[in-house]
Amino acid sequence: MGKTTGFLEYQRTDAPIRPEAARILDFQEFHGNLQAAARREQAARCMDCGIPFCQAGTVIAGMVSGCPLHNLVPEINDLVYLGRMEEAYRRLQITHSFPEFTSRVCPALCEAACTCGLHDAAVTTKENEKAVTTYAFANGLVREETPQIRTGKKVAVVGSGPAGLAAAQLLNRRGHEVTVFERKDRVGGLLRYGIPNMKLDKRVIDRRVQMMEDAGVHFEVNVDVGKDISADALLEAYDSVILACGASHPRDISVPGREAEGIFFAVDFLGTVTKRLLDSDFTQPPKELAEGKDVIVIGGGDTGNDCVGTCIRLGAKSVTQLEMMPEPPEMRLGSNPWPEWPRVKKTDYGQEEAIYLFGADPRIYQTTVKEFLKDEEGKLHGAVLISLEGKKDEKTGRMQMVPVEGSEREVPAQLVLIAAGFLGSESYVAESFGVARDVRTNVKTEPGKYATSVPNVFTAGDMHRGQSLVVWAIAEGRGVARAVDEALMGYSNL
C-alpha cells in the first residue's frame, strides 16, 4: 500500500497550524491543510506491512489498538497516494458515518498502532482522512439519500450525540422513520456542547444534521425524555427506542469548601461558553467567566486541556492544571510496547498555548485539592493543594495515590473547573424506561449486544460502554442500528 519505499523517502510532515499568538484571540479552528502533492507524499509513507494493526480495533493489554470502526486504512492511504480522492472517500464511507468529526477530534488510535510508528513517526492517517473528507464535501460527493421505500417502522433515538446520530443515519437509510430527541436547544450532544469550537467547528455538525434532516430524519430539540415525555409514551408511539444519552454524570470533588461560588463541572462550563458563542454568532464571548481570574483545572485529560485553551481565550490571568497521577514518560517504556496504546506524555493545544502565554506548562502532577477557600460572601478566592505519592494497598496489592503529609500549599483561585471524568449515565432516563444497569451505572446488555432488559429498548454509546471516544460512539451507533433493524425486519442489510 502506498509507495513501496515511501516510508524510507519521506519524513512525517503535519499540516500547518495557526501560531499560538493568533489562535488564542478567537474560537476558530486552527489546523490547516497540506497541498495536494504534499498530502500524497504523506500517504505514500503507508507501508505494505502485511498486518495492519491500524484497522484492527482490537484489545491488547486492556487497551484498544487500532480503529474501532475498522476503516481499511491502508487502502484509503493508497488511494490518496494515487490521487484518487473520490475512490478514497467511497472506501472510507463504507465503514464510517462521520469522518468529518473524527478527523478533527479523534486521538487517532490508528496512528498509535501504525507499523511505521514502530521505528519512525506514524503515517498521518488522521490528517489524510480529513483531506479525503474535505475533498468529498467540496466536490459534492457526500450525500444522505432519502430512501425510496419506507418500511412503516418507527424508531425513537434518545440523544443526538455521535452514537445517536450514527444510529439515526443508518436506520433512516434503511427506510425506517427515525425521530431523534435532544434535551438541549441544538443537536449534537457531546459534539456540540462538550467539545470547543476550535477543535470542532459547529458548522461542521450543522452541515451534516441538515443533510440528515433533508433525507427524512426528524429532530426534536428541547425535549427531555423521562421528564418532558415519558418512556411509556415513546414505547407506545414507536416500534423501537434507542437510548444514547451519553455518560453525562460528572465525577465530583468532595473536599471542604466545595460549595464556594466559582466552582463548576468542566462539561457545564464548556457548554455554557459554546452556547453563548453560538447565540451571539461568535461576537460576544463570555469573557466575564474567566477574564482576570486565576483558574485551576482539576483533571489532566482531553476535557481538562479543552478547559485550559478555553480559559486562555477568555482572558484568564493564570491557568493551573492538576493531575493526580505521576508525569508520564516522554517515550514508550519496555512495559508498553507497540502496538499497545502509548502511555506517554502528550502536550496538547491548550498546554502549548499556556506555555506560550505564561512561560510554563500548566500541569502539576501528583497533586490534588485538599480544600477550597472562600470569602465571607461565599466566593472562591483560593485553594489548598496537596502532593500525592504512590503506595501499595496492603489488602488489594494495588497502587494508590495518597496525600503527602506536610506538603500543603495555598494558591489563589477565583475559578475552578472539575474535569475528573464521569461516573456513568444520569439515572432518570434509565429509571424511566426501567432498564437494568451494571455496577458502573451503564445500561446493561449481553456482551457485544445492544438490546436492554426491556423489550424494544436498545442502547449505545457512552450510556452503554461508559465514557469513551467519539469514534467508539459512532461504532456503537452503527452497531445498534443493525441490531434494531434485525429486530424490526428479521434480518439486516446494514
Mean pLDDT for 134-161 is 97
Q: Residue 468's closest CA among 270, 301, 297?
A: 301
Q: Work out the pLDDT band at 1, boundaries 50, 70, 90.
A: low
Please state the rounded mean pLDDT for residues 442-464.
97
CA end-to-end distance (rounded Å), the chain:
28
- Taking only the tens place, the pLDDT of each residue in 62-95 is 888 999 999 999 999 999 999 999 999 999 999 9
Residue 132 CA to residue 135 CA, distance in Å, equals: 5
Q: If we measure between CA atoms, which residue out of 40, 24, 132 comes closest to residue 83?
A: 40
pTM above 0.85, yes or no: yes
Nearest to 164 by CA among 140, 183, 145: 183
> Poorest-confidence range of 22-31, 142-151, 289-298, 394-403?
394-403
Q: Are 38 and 13 in contact (CB under 8 A)?
A: yes
Distance, CA of 479 to CA of 138 (rounded, Å):
29
Q: Write down all domains in the chain, each with its CATH number in brackets.
A: 6-138 (1.10.1060.10), 154-248+423-489 (3.50.50.60), 263-418 (3.50.50.60)
DSSP label of 56: T
**Predicted confidence (pLDDT) per residue in 294-319, tens digit:** 999 999 999 999 999 999 999 999 99
- What per-residue confidence (pLDDT) applies to 395? 82
Give the separation between CA 30 and CA 44, rounded to whole angstroms: 25
416, 452 contact by CB (below 8 A): no
Task: Quote the cell numbers at residue 355.
Answer: 506555555
> pLDDT at position 62, please?
85
Range from 76-90, 152-166, 385-399, 409-423 carrying the lowest mean pLDDT: 385-399
Q: What is the rounded distance in angstroms from the CA atom of residue 304 to the CA atom of residue 465?
A: 21
pLDDT confidence of residue 61: 86
- Per-residue pLDDT tens for 356-384? 999 999 999 999 999 999 999 999 999 99
**222/187 Cα distance (integer angstroms):** 10
- Give CA angle at 441 (435, 445), nearest 5°: 50
Residue 475 cell numbers, joined: 461504532
What is the number of other CB atoms lying within 10 angstroms of the CB of residue 492? Answer: 15
Position 378: which residue type?
A: G
Q: What is the DSSP track for 225-238?
A: BTTTB-HHHHHHH-
pLDDT score of 415 more than 80:
yes
C-alpha distances in Å from residue 171, one per residue of 64, 115, 217, 486 = 27, 36, 9, 11
> How buried is 394 (Cβ within 10 angstroms: 0-12 exposed, 13-18 middle, 19+ buried)?
exposed
Instruction: Give the pLDDT of residue 42.
Output: 97
Cell digits of residue 411: 494558591
Whether the pLDDT of residue 14 is over 90: the answer is: yes
Q: Which three cell numbers stand for residue 421?
A: 471524568
pLDDT tens digits along 17-42: 999 999 999 999 999 999 999 999 99
